[in-house]
Amino acid sequence: MNFININKDEKKVILLIHPMLFTSEAIKSLIADKMPKDSRIIIPEMAGHGRSKESFLSVEIEGEKIYAYLVDEGIGEID
C-alpha cells in the first residue's frame, strides 16, 4: 500500500481514506490541498485503485495495512 504523506513534521495527524472508485491523488487535489498546512495529512492508496498493483481482498486487510503504517510511523493518535 502506498501513502501520500503531507506536512510530515506536523504533530496533529489527519487520515483521509478515499471512497471506492477514487484515488489518493484525487482526494489530495480535492480535499487535502485545500486544508490548512498545520496538520500532517496521510492518504492511503487502497488496493485496486490508482497506482496500486494489489487486488482488493477485504476492508479488514486494508485497515490492517493502514494500522501497521501508523504504528511504523510512530503515530498513536489521529485528530
pLDDT-derived band at 72 (thresholds 50, 70, 90) equals: very high
pLDDT tens track for 31-55: 899 998 999 999 998 875 667 677 7
pLDDT, average across residues 3-19: 91
pLDDT-derived band at 21 (thresholds 50, 70, 90) equals: confident
Whether the predicted pLDDT of 78 surpasses 70: yes
pLDDT tens track for 24-33: 888 899 989 9
Specify whether the CB–CB gap between 51 and 2 falls below 8 A: yes
Main-chain dihedrals φ then ψ at residue 20, nearest 5 degrees? -55, 145
